[in-house]
Amino acid sequence: MKKAQFIFICFIAAFAVSSCKGKKEVQEIMALEVPVVQVVQQDVALESEFTGQTFGASDVEIRTRVEGWVQSMDFKEGTMVRKGQLLYTIDPLPYQNLVEQATASLAESETALIKAKNDLDRIKPLAEIGAISQRELVAAQAQYDACVAMVASSRASLNNARIELGYCRVVAPISGMIGISKVNVGDYVNMGPQFVVNTVSQIDKFRVRFTISEKEYLRITRLLQASGITLGSGGANVTLILGDGTIYPLKGKINFADRQIDPSTGALTMETEFLNQDNLIRPGQYVKIRVVTEMRKGAIMIPQRAVNEMQGLFQVFTVGDSNKVSIEMIKLGPSYNMSYIVEEGLTAGDKIVIGGTQLLRNGTLIMPVEKKWYPDSTNIQSIVK
């Protein structure tokens, strides 16, 4: 009897041990494999993004300074031209005639001056001995002075006529790329500031002008002052994003900010400068720029994919020592690349779930698969694969 009871007790104990072991195995089988990353702490340079337009290092509009018929176009549109290179020729004949008239007028004035000088030289000795009156001497001197002035006036008219004749040759004011001509051979051009025939742009460098609102200007300025720096300081730290979304390989620097806020728009105009690699950038392009406007020391960083939002509240799933997840409410700061700065709720080294959060609940047991992650990485998709 006792032997039978002992066997029964052993059978019950073995069954209990087997049941516990089986339950544990089921739990392990049910545990989800979830990618997990560590919370990172590092210094971050935060950027603000603005939309701007490109300009050449110099954009010079070409205007005619004389009027007449265009005789020739001595360049190819859309190509590089050199400073002083002939671009247009305007019919020079009317201005050549003015030069010849001024030359003749100068010769006539110089002849009159010679006669007046001879008369004055002849009258002076006679006046000294009283052979003629002082009145005649004064008249001779006045005639001589008038002829001197006439020669100066004729010479100035000749110089002006030559200058206008020179304006018939329209040359490039700077070296750069010339645009499409607004006039053709045979067109009649007028002179004046409103009459632009073409534009030459120096494109070895280019400028980007953008505007920021008054509120944004005040916010950025205060943030930078708190960091002990000024807007645009620190050399080339401006990033350019082209129209197709690609990032321009060279960094730029801020040239200046306008002296005042535009009262009609409430915006401040600023300008950045870049080197033009392979002459890729042309004036008139619309681009985006990112300017470093704040430095965060020891910022707590997490991937944006790890954050869940519910009714304006943000949370992440943290992983404890027992591989159980728990919901942690956090306070987010600015974004950086594909990351967030966390202002409250996490510390460096905490482990958080980055994928499969829709299947998780508070207290869910998981099998964490640790992944490497860096805040400067923009390819978050490769982390969760």
Mean pLDDT of 103-132: 91
- The larger pLDDT score, comparing residue 19 to residue 87, is at 87
Q: Which of 301, 303, 320 is nearest to 366 (CA)?
A: 320
What pLDDT band is residue 8 in, cutting at 50, 70 and 90? very low
Domain annotation covers residue 252: yes
CB 44 within 8 A of CB 340: no
- 368 and 289 within one domain: no
How many domains does the chain divide into? 4
Give 130's DSSP letter.
Answer: T
Q: Within this chain, do residues 73 and 176 fall inside the same structural domain, yes or no?
A: yes
pLDDT at residue 196 above 90?
A: yes
Considering the domain boundaries, does residue 5 fall inside one? no
Indicate whether 21 belongs to any domain.
no
Please indicate, yes or no, if residue 271 is contained in any of the structural domains: yes
Confirm whether 7 is domain-assigned.
no
Q: What phi, psi does 60 have (nearest 5°)?
A: -105, 120
Percent of the chain with pLDDT over 70: 87
Q: Is the pTM of this model over 0.75?
A: no
If pLDDT is split at 50, 70 and 90, which confidence band does 2 have?
very low
Q: Of 158 and 30, which is predicted with more confidence?
A: 158
Domain boundary among 296, 322, 356: 296
Residue from 79, 127, 14, 49 nearest 279 by CA: 79
**Spatial separation of the C-alpha atoms in residues 74 and 78, rounded to whole Å:** 13
pLDDT of residue 382: 42
Least-confidence region, from 8-17, 79-88, 117-126, 202-211: 8-17
CATH number at 377 reads: 2.40.420.20
Are residue 177 and residue 137 in the same domain, yes or no? no
Q: Which CATH number do you get for residue 70?
A: 2.40.50.100
Which residues on adjacent β-strands are paired with residue 367? 33
**Is residue 204 scored above 50 in pLDDT?**
yes
Answer yes or no: is pLDDT of 235 > 70. Answer: no
**Could you tell me if residue 234 is inside a domain?**
yes
Q: How confident is the model at residue 311 (pLDDT cuts 50, 70, 90)?
A: confident
pLDDT for position 384: 43
Residue 336 pLDDT:
84
Contacts of 111 (CB under 8 A, 6+ apart): none
pLDDT tens sequence across 261-290: 999 999 999 999 999 998 899 999 999 998
Distance of CA 375 to the CA centre of its chain: 26
User: What's the token pair of residue 187?
Assistant: 């067109």
Q: Are residues 303 and 357 in the same domain?
A: yes
Let me know whether 160 and 187 are in one domain.
Answer: no
Which CATH number covers residue 216?
2.40.30.170
Tell me: do 266 and 325 sit in the same domain. Answer: no
pLDDT in the model for residue 10: 46
Q: Are residues 303 and 380 in the same domain?
A: yes
Same domain, 53 and 144: no
Residue 168 pLDDT > 70: yes
Per-residue pLDDT band at 26 (split at 50, 70, 90): very low
- Domain check: are 208 and 290 in the same one? yes
pLDDT score for 24: 45
pLDDT of residue 309: 87
Residue 5 has pLDDT above 60, yes or no: no
Cα 181 from chain centroid? 27
Higher pLDDT, residue 90 or 293: 90
Interior/surface letters 305-318, b for 16+ CB within 10 angstroms, e for the rest: bbbbeeeeebbbbb
**Strand, coil or helix: 259:** coil
| Any domain includes 370 | yes
Average pLDDT along the chain: 85
Please check whether residue 351 is in contact with residue 31, taking contact to mean a CB–CB distance below 8 angstroms.
no
Same domain, yes or no, for 180 and 141?
no
Angle made by CA atoms 337, 341, 343, in degrees to the nearest 5: 170
pLDDT of residue 15: 46
* Pairing between β-strand 286-303 and β-strand 339-344 as defined by DSSP bridges: antiparallel
Provide the pLDDT confidence category of residue 203 given band limits of 50, 70 and 90. Answer: very high
346 with 332, same domain: the answer is yes
Provide the residue range defining the domain that includes 80.
65-90+169-191
Is residue 259 one of the residues assigned to a domain? yes
Q: What is the CATH number of the domain that holds 148?
A: 1.10.287.470
What is the per-residue pLDDT for 356?
Answer: 65
Last residue of a domain, one of 247, 271, 296: 296
Among 296, 322, 355, the domain boundary falls at 296
Nearest-angstrom CA–CA distance, 360 and 303: 18
Residues 266 and 161 placed together within one structural domain of the fold: no
Each residue of 328-338: pLDDT tens digit?
A: 999 998 888 88
